[in-house]
């Protein structure tokens, strides 16, 4: 069955559920007919499926599951958490003779160049699980050492003794000829999870290819078991999973491709942000996703940028993933005093259990959420997720402990916590913008996540941004993105040849083979062939360079070479008179989601404030300000800060000198109406 619309149902009769499992909360977005509903509940990290099934029950979807009328798209953190916590399965690593320590040696780079006593690096695979064999070919495809019957028999004996749960196979230059790896797969005992590098990442660089293959095998059984349990609980309900590249795949394929799920949740938010930017004519976005545990930032310049140089913990991840920067600063980030008596915030988090002190679930330490509540930006009458009451007294007590130590008022301490948290996030946003040659003032700051709206105005002020977008359903935006993301395959292969020594026809034939493979996979998921589009690209570098630039493929090779020279000059400030090398070819195949877009708001009169909570302003004074319920706002309504805009799953603090306009789909398009230093007015984003 396809992941989004089974052939036996029309889109009008099917309900679509997006689920994003985070470190603190599990978020749900349900499309049912013309109705969109959201829900949020605490995550259950030990058994993530418990929170999912609890949310399904709370949303009353069990009848739809029984009737086969629900489709689920899920962003999973199982692979991410297992990798970060070092809780993969016992995995054997098989490579050629003399290369058993490949993953231990790595690239021999130092984390700190001038640290003469660096800490020992984590050894990915214990020595006894590193196995060597024959079956070696050279860089030109020639046979250097055959794979013999004795080699296979020896490996089988070692595996019987070691009893691994998974095996990773990474032979040199297997992307040229994968026959030896396939022969080894056939020799692995039944019931053992197997990954081979020629399938996981058929690209050059044996270390990065080996790490991707080992990560996939190390995490694969846990991911496959989790998705199997979830699928069993969902019965015949089709289950799709978000990949790190921003597209979805069916659960069966996801269980075999754990390494492609390491940024599964955050990628959903970017998928939704891109569609939002396209729909309102703002393709240049700085995205800011602030949840309970961490904040993810990324830059969208017309399209979502992918990288093959990502990391998860200490491990490089060379499979395509969204180019994102993550920091340990979220609503649940703990505030504390360091050894020198200085106030610090994060990266430690209160998590889902016990959570911030204001949740009244046993948490005693102050968090960013508690600071927001002390300053009135989370009203005491608010209920988290629509049902969880908050405790202002508990928040004040937690922040008060730090205030006593700092000899400051509770409000001053809370403001300090927010200032430090904001600085962490501003620094992260500058990493993906300023440090890469982009002026943040030329981008709209798009914030989402449960805590994002409370900080977005302060971040925009610090960055010089004059336009802000707070999407409708921003508190569960990643879950919404699961439903809006395309079904996708990202395929690649190394050619590694001088551009002048290959013809465009040869490259086209290689790209066609990737296209055929990707189309077959999507067709097997039930995707309509007419909906599949392909986007070819190539990785190029100067001869002798180790790093590449990715450019769209074009059949004129001289024009492609010139495009690379220009891209190199733009990125690094110079071009070289050296031959251009074609390293990798890539093919992205996508089919659009069949989930309908967000409905427009029902015509209604502009909403009036529901109450006037007392809020401590940036200047330290406290006074009542209007508070609006977001679901009551009318299309075209204008709100001038300071004001609070509350919703079931998030709150937006509209600071002084900022003005929000509600667009027809309920998005808040916010612009600066006056700068305190120059008093100049800023044009608003146009309402579509």
Q: pLDDT tens-digit profile of 552-605?
A: 999 999 999 999 999 999 888 899 999 999 999 999 999 998 777 788 888 999
CB atoms within 10 A of CB 669: 21
- Which residue has 């398009």 as its token pair? 669
CB 663 within 8 Å of CB 472: no
Q: Read out DSSP for 493-543?
A: EEEEEEGGGS-HHHHHHHHHHHHHHHHHHHHHTT--GGG-EEEEEEEEEET
In the predicted structure, residue 611 carries a pLDDT above the cut 70? yes
Q: What percent of the chain has pLDDT over 90?
A: 68
pLDDT, tens digit (0-9, with 9 covering 90-100), for 488-543: 999 999 999 999 999 999 999 999 999 999 999 999 988 999 999 999 999 999 99
Band the pLDDT of 7: cuts 50, 70, 90: very low
Q: How confident is the model at residue 313 (pLDDT cuts 50, 70, 90)?
A: confident
Between 293 and 56, the higher pLDDT residue = 56
Identify any residues that bridge with 285 across adjacent strands, giving them in sequence order.
Answer: 300, 444
- Averaged pLDDT, 313-322: 90
Instruction: Report the topology of domain 86-219.
Output: Rossmann fold (3.40.50)
**Secondary structure of 163-204 as H, E, C letters:** CCCEEEECCCCCCCCCHHHHHHHHHCCCCCEEEEHHHHCCCC
Report the helix count and the strand count for the chain, using DSSP H and E: 17, 37
Instruction: Assign domain 11-83+224-261 to a CATH class.
Output: alpha beta
Check residue 532 and give its pLDDT.
Answer: 95
Considering only residues 675 and 116, tell me which one the structure prediction assigns the higher pLDDT: 116
Residue ranges in 360-435 assigned as alpha helix (H): 368-374, 392-406, 410-431
Q: Would you say residue 69 has pLDDT above 60? A: yes
Cite the residue boundaries of each domain of the chain with CATH code 3.30.1490. 487-591
Per DSSP, what are the bridge partners of residue 38?
A: 29
In whole angstroms, give the CA distance from residue 330 to residue 291: 5
Query: What pLDDT is attached to residue 430?
Result: 95
pLDDT tens readout for residues 377-402: 998 887 776 667 889 999 999 999 99
* CATH 3.30.420.40 placement within the chain: 11-83+224-261
Report which of residues 59 and 649 the model is more confident about: 59
Q: In what order do the strands lie in the sheet with 487-498?
A: 35-42, 25-32, 15-21, 70-75, 239-242, 248-250, 487-498, 580-591, 533-542, 549-552
**CA-to-CA dists, residue 669 to 429, 468, 606, 631, 661, angstroms:** 20, 6, 16, 15, 5
CATH architecture of 487-591: 2-Layer Sandwich (3.30)
The 10s digit of each residue's pLDDT in 447-498 is 998 889 999 999 999 999 999 999 998 888 999 999 999 999 999 999 999 9
pLDDT at residue number 67: 87
Global pTM?
0.85
pLDDT band at 6, cuts 50/70/90?
A: very low
Average pLDDT of span 59-78: 90
pLDDT class for 683, splitting at 50, 70, 90?
low
Could you say which DSSP state residue 146 is in? -
Lowest mean pLDDT among 138-147, 172-181, 387-396, 626-635: 387-396
């Amino acid at each position: 069955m396809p992941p989004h619309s089974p052939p036996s149902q029309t889109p009008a009769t099917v309900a679509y559920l997006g689920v994003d499992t985070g470190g603190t909360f599990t978020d749900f977005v349900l499309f049912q007919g013309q109705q969109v509903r959201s829900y949020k509940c605490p995550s259950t990290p030990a058994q993530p499926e418990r929170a999912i099934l609890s949310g399904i029950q709370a949303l009353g979807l069990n009848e739809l599951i029984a009737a086969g009328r629900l489709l689920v798209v899920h962003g999973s953190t199982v692979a991410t958490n297992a990798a970060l916590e070092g809780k993969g399965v016992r995995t054997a690593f098989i490579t050629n003779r003399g290369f058993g320590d490949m993953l231990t040696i790595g690239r021999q780079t130092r984390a700190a160049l001038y640290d003469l006593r660096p800490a020992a690096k984590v050894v990915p695979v214990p020595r006894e699980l590193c196995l060597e064999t024959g079956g070696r070919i050279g860089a030109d495809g020639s046979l250097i050492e055959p794979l013999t019957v004795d080699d296979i028999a020896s490996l089988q004996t070692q595996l019987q003794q070691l009893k691994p749960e998974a095996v990773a196979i990474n032979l040199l230059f297997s992307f040229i000829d994968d026959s030896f790896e396939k022969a080894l797969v056939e020799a692995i005992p039944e019931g053992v999870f197997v990954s081979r590098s020629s399938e996981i990442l058929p690209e050059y660089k044996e270390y990065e290819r080996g790490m991707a293959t080992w990560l996939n095998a190390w995490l694969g059984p846990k991911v496959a078991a989790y998705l199997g349990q979830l699928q069993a609980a969902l019965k015949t309900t089709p289950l799709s999973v978000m990949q790190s590249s921003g597209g979805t795949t069916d659960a069966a394929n996801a269980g075999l491709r754990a390494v492609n799920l390491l940024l599964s949740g955050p990628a959903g938010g970017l998928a939704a942000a891109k569609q939002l930017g396209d729909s309102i004519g703002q393709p240049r976005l700085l995205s800011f996703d602030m949840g309970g545990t961490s904040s993810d930032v990324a830059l969208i310049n017309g399209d979502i940028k992918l990288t093959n140089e990502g990391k998860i913990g200490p491990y490089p991840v060379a499979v395509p993933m969204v180019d994102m920067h993550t920091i340990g600063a979220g609503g649940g980030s703990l505030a504390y005093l360091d050894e020198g008596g200085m106030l610090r915030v994060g990266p430690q988090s209160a998590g889902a259990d016990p959570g911030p002190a204001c949740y009244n679930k046993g948490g005693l330490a102050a968090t960013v959420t508690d600071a927001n509540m002390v300053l009135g930006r989370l009203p005491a009458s608010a209920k988290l997720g629509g049902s969880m009451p908050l405790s202002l007294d508990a928040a004040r007590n937690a922040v008060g402990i730090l205030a006593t130590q700092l000899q400051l008022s509770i409000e001053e301490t809370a403001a300090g916590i927010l200032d430090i948290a904001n600085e962490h996030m501003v620094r992260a946003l500058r990493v993906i913008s300023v440090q890469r040659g982009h002026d943040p003032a030329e981008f709209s700051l798009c914030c989402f996540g449960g805590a994002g709206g409370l900080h977005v105005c302060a971040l925009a002020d610090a960055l010089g941004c004059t336009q802000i977008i707070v999407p409708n359903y921003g508190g569960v935006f990643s879950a919404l993105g699961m439903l809006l993301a395309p079904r996708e395959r990202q395929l690649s292969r190394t050619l590694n040849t001088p551009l002048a020594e290959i013809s465009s026809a040869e490259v086209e034939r290689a790209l066609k083979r990737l296209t055929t493979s990707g189309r077959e996979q999507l067709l097997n998921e039930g995707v309509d062939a007419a909906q599949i589009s392909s986007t070819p690209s190539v990785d190029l570098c100067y001869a002798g360079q180790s790093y590449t630039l990715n450019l769209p493929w074009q059949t004129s090779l001289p024009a492609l070479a010139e495009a690379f020279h220009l891209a190199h000059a733009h990125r690094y400030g110079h071009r070289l008179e050296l031959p251009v090398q074609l390293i990798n070819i890539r093919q992205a195949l996508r089919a659009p989601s069949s989930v309908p877009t967000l409905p427009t708001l029902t015509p209604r009169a502009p909403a009036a404030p529901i109450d006037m909570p007392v809020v401590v302003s940036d200047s330290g004074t406290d006074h009542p300000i209007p508070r609006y319920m977001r679901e009551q706002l009318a299309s075209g309504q204008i709100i001038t800060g300071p004001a609070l805009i509350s919703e079931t799953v998030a709150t937006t603090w509209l600071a002084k000198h900022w003005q929000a306009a509600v667009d027809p789909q309920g998005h808040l398009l916010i612009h600066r109406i006056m700068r305190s230093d120059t008093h100049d007015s800023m044009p608003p984003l146009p309402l579509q």
